[in-house]
Chains A and B, each alone.
Chain A
Amino acid sequence: MSIEAHSIRKKFGTYTALDGVDLNVPQGKLVALLGPSGSGKTTLLRIIAGLEFPDLGSGRVLFHGDDVTDLPAGRRKVGFVFQHYALFRHMSVFENVAFGLRVRRRRDRPSSAAIAERAHRLLELVQLDGLAGRFPSQLSGGERQRVALARALAVEPKVLLLDEPFGALDARVRKDLRRWLRRFHDEIQLTTIFVTHDQEEALEIADEVVIMNKAHVEQVGTPQQVYDKPASPFVYQFLGNVNVLRAPTLAGARRRSGGGEASPDGQIYVRPHDIELTPHDAGGSGLSAIVRHIHAAGPHARLLLEQVQTREHVEVEISRSELAALSLQANDLVRMRLRQTHSFDEDYAI
């Protein structure tokens, strides 16, 4: 089922959480709402779920073209997974999963045998069937998250909404679980929106990323689109490391082919891995810089350079073999050339 939201506005007292936000999620896609905390992403998710309502007269939420703005959460057929799982602590895992079926009206309620069968099938799906009799407090964080997912799926939702699904897990489990979620989504093909503040997570598993900032949507696109063609300085900075350099000094440094045009006193954005280093005494174009620090632990070497002309600090990432070929030491002089740069109109100030 597709999800649409049109010009959603939401204020909490004097604080504006959403200021005219539009969203369009096509059927069957896995979409990430990405943004820093306070950007409004969770509020938007809760409005889609029906746990919050947009300000009066401000906007509509459509499921598959049908207006559900005034429907309460229980009748929207959404599966919602909370950041802290929100499992019913006094119920076993099995009872948690069966809850959504047990509270149905008598004529819609499956027999208890059918409920049991369905609950066990869902627990199998999330690979937890052996733990049906446990209580939430006896499970690990990752297991609880999967129980919450099974519980949400029990009511046969048409869309799945996940609020920071991996936020409360440690880094290792988080990585495993997000890949599992991607495979899981490919299997069940349910339109899914998840909220995250982790750009790596969003770029890795989402079909489409919606980047939010300060109650607005900044950009929508595939992970590659938003990474390669950021629409604003905010997106550029949010999606990875970036150097911000003053433009005039770069006149001679940029290749003719690379990057956009900088406005005269605008700024140039360049990612650390888009900077090429050449030995200084080889001559040629490029900016002179002094190596201040070399950090070579990890798959890539990270260098901190100081541009000679402006004294601006620049972070550069090169492969370790390149570093070996240059045989650089701290305080050596190098030349740097910017392979790809971005600039934005000044109105886009962050």
Chain B
Amino acid sequence: MAPAVPAPHATRPPFGARPARSELPRATRDPAWARWALTGAALAFLAFFLVLPLVVVFAQAFSKGGAYFLAAIREPDALAAIRLTLLTVAIVVPANVVFGIAAAWAIAKFRFPGKSLLTTLIDLPFAVSPVISGLVYVLVFGAQGWLGPWLIAHNIRIIFAVPGIVLATAFVTFPFVARELIPLMQAQGTDEEYSAVTLGANGWQTFWRVTLPNIRWGLFYGVILCNARAMGEFGAVSVVSGHIRGETNTMPLHVEILYNEYNIAGAFAVASLLALLAIATLVIKSIVEWRQTRTA
């Protein structure tokens, strides 16, 4: 679970020192009780909805001791689920980075017919319930689906197999990178690219030296969100996976199975790994961002 983090470009301070609170004009300062009340409310909310669940996850994971925790995540089915999740992420995230950049580039920098349609389509996965997304793939690729007989005849397995899981995850996580980049690229306009072109840069050079460095923070943030969602996706994957232990179970599905078998400590042990991965990505993001503001 990735907690709500403001976009990176919003958190970067402008050049020059930030004004200390005492330098702010009086009119923008609230009375002490209001400041404390608002801050307190925000912190209480965060503690209750974000920190507490996180603590519960780890407390439950270790409720039967460290040995049980290790055994739960070393068990072959758990390892298979971890491997499958990482494999899915390793395919889906790079693919969505490429698709996302391409779509954002096309939408933000060019005029073409059908542009608004494309913009709407990118949002489709947000609008559709993940379960429906999964179901769509079953209807297309499943044994009773449109392409089912042909796929069976050629011995290609998509539904209840890894390709289906990858497809469903890719569909659900498609908007993250593109959505993050489109407003950023639109705001930056095309003048810098045109400059590069008049200076003799070719398309690749323009992209690698001008466009990509300008969007790197938005891209990084999009990748993190995409990654978190790809690891945690449940609904769509659940429909296409078939829940075959050790074969088509991703980590969230494995957690569900363990939980349904009343193996609470085991379920939370695997869940704690997902939580750890999420925390790790956020820490990496903060560190890179912090270094960037220091060098700029």
A344 at the interface (CB under 8 A from B): no
Chain B CB within 8 A of A80 CB: yes
| B15 in contact with A103 (CB, 8 Å) | no
Contact B198 A78 (CB under 8 A): yes
A88 touches B195 (CB 8 A): yes
Q: Which residue of B lies closest to A151 (CB)?
A: B199
Distance in angstroms between the alpha carbons of A104 and B198 in the assembled complex: 12
**A86 contacts B214, C-beta separation under 8 Å:** no
Nearest-CB residue, chain A, relative to B188: A89
The segment out of B79-87, B174-182, B200-208 that lies at the interface is B200-208
Known: A88-B192, A90-B214, A137-B15. A51 touches B197 (CB 8 A): yes
CA A137 – CA B214 in complex, angstroms?
14
A80 to B210: give the CA distance in the assembly, Å.
17
Closest Cβ neighbor of B210 among chain A residues: A88
Contact between A155 and B199 (Cβ–Cβ < 8 Å)? Answer: yes
Whether B200 and A74, one on each chain, are in contact in the complex, defined by CB atoms closer than 8 angstroms, is yes
Contact A86-B191, Cβ < 8 Å, known A103-B205, A135-B296:
yes
Please tell me if B74 contacts chain A, counting CB pairs below 8 Å: no
Known contacts A137-B15, A155-B200: A103-B209 contact under CB 8 Å: yes
A26 at the interface (CB under 8 A from B): no
B194 at the binding interface (Cβ < 8 Å): yes
> A88-B210, A90-B213, A90-B214 in contact; A100/B194 too (CB < 8 A)?
no
Given contacts A49-B198, A74-B197, A99-B196, could you give 20 more A-B pairs where the C-beta distance is less than 8 Å? A51-B197, A73-B194, A73-B197, A74-B200, A74-B202, A78-B198, A82-B191, A82-B194, A82-B195, A84-B191, A86-B195, A87-B192, A90-B213, A100-B199, A100-B201, A103-B196, A103-B201, A104-B200, A151-B195, A154-B199
Q: How far is the CB of A85 from chain B (nearest CB, A)?
A: 8
Residue of B198, B201, B210, B214 ringed by the most chain A CB atoms within 10 A: B198
Task: Tell me the interface secondary structure of chain B in the complex.
Answer: helix
Could you show 9 A-B contacts with beta carbons less than 8 Å apart?
Answer: A72-B197, A74-B200, A75-B200, A86-B192, A86-B195, A87-B192, A88-B210, A90-B213, A99-B199
B199 touches A103 (CB 8 A): yes
Contacts of B205 in A (CB 8 A): 103
Cβ contacts under 8 Å, B198 to chain A: 49-51, 73-74, 78-80, 152
| A residues in contact with B15, CB < 8 Å | 137-138
The interface residues of chain B lying within 8 Å CB-to-CB of A86 are 191-192, 194-195
In the assembled complex, the CB of A70 is this many whole angstroms from the nearest CB of chain B, namely 15
Contact with A along B163-196 (1 / 0, CB 8 A): 0000000000000000000000000000110111
Residues of chain A with a CB closer than 8 A to B213's CB: 88, 90
Q: Is the CB of A51 within 8 A of B194?
A: yes
Interface membership of chain A positions 142-157, coded 1 if the CB is closer than 8 angstroms to chain B and 0 otherwise: 0000000001101100
Q: Identify the closest chain A residue to B204 (Cβ).
A: A103
Specify which of A82, A84, A88, A103 is in contact with B200 (CB 8 Å cutoff).
A103
Nearest B residue to A103 via CB reads B201
Closest 3 A/B residue pairs (Cβ): A86-B191, A100-B199, A103-B201
Q: Which residue of B lies closest to A46 (CB)?
A: B194
Per-residue CB contact flags for chain A residues 21-63 toward chain B (1 = under 8 Å, else 0) read 0000000000000000000000000000111000000000000
Nearest-neighbour CB distance to chain B for A158, whole angstroms, equals 13
A103 to chain B: which residues have CB within 8 Å? 196, 199-202, 205, 209
Q: Which of A143-182 contact B (CB under 8 A)?
A: 151-152, 154-155
A87 to B199, CA, bound (A): 12
Distance of A72 Cα from B196 Cα, bound (Å): 12
**Nearest chain-B residue to A84 (Cβ)?**
B191
Closest to B212 in A: A90
Please give, as numbers and ranges, the residues of chain B lying within 8 Å of A49 by CB-CB distance.
Answer: 198
Of residues 83 through 111 on chain A, the ones whose CB sits less than 8 Å from some CB of chain B are 84, 86-90, 99-100, 103-104
CA distance A100 to B296 in the complex (A): 23
- A86 — nearest CB in chain B belongs to which residue? B191
Distance of A151 Cα from B296 Cα, bound (Å): 21
> Which residues of chain B are near A79, meaning CB under 8 Å?
198
Chain B residue at minimal CB-CB distance from A161: B198
- Please name all residues of chain A whose beta carbon is closer than 8 Å to the beta carbon of B199 when the two chains form the complex: 74, 99-100, 103, 151-152, 154-155
**Distance between A68 CB and nearest chain B CB, rounded to angstroms:** 13
Which residues of B lie under 8 Å from residue A82 when comparing CB positions? 191, 194-195
Write out, one digit per residue, whether chain B residues 276-296 have a CB within 8 A of any chain A CB (1) or not (0).
000000000000000000001
Q: How far is A5 from B198 in the complex, measured between Cα atoms in Å?
A: 19
The complex places the Cα of A139 from the Cα of B174 at a distance, in Å, of 39
Q: Mark B56-100, 1 if CB is under 8 A from A, else 0.
A: 000000000000000000000000000000000000000000000
CB under 8 Å from chain A, chain B span 254-296: 296
Contacts of A138 in B (CB 8 A): 15
- Which of A87, A99, A151 sits near B201, CB closer than 8 Å? A99
- In the bound complex, residues from chain A placing their C-beta under 8 Å from that of B202 are 74, 103
**Which of B192, B194, B196, B209 is close to A89, meaning CB atoms less than 8 Å apart?**
B192
Across-interface contacts of A90 in B (CB, < 8 A): 213-214
Could you mark each residue 242-253 of chain A with 1 if its beta carbon is under 8 Å from any beta carbon of chain B, else 0?
000000000000
User: Closest B-chain residue to A75, C-beta based?
Assistant: B200
Query: How far, in Å, is B101 (CB) from chain A's closest CB?
Result: 17
Closest approach, in angstroms, between the C-beta of A86 and any C-beta of chain B?
Answer: 4
Task: Decide if A74 touches B191 in the complex (CB within 8 Å).
Answer: no
Q: How far is the CB of B293 from chain A (nearest CB, A)?
A: 13
Given A99-B209, A137-B15, A80:B195 Cβ within 8 A: yes
State which residues 7-39 of B face A: CB under 8 Å.
15
How long is the Cα–Cα vector from A32 to B243 in the complex, in angstroms?
Answer: 72
For A75, the chain B residues whose CB sits under 8 A away are 200
Q: Bound state CA distance, A151 and B196, in angstroms? A: 10
Distance (Å) between the CB of B131 and the closest chain A CB? Answer: 42
Distance from A133 Cβ to chain B, minimum over Cβ atoms (Å): 12
The CA-CA distance from A100 to B197 in the complex, in Å, is: 9
Q: Are A89 and B195 in contact (CB under 8 A)?
A: no
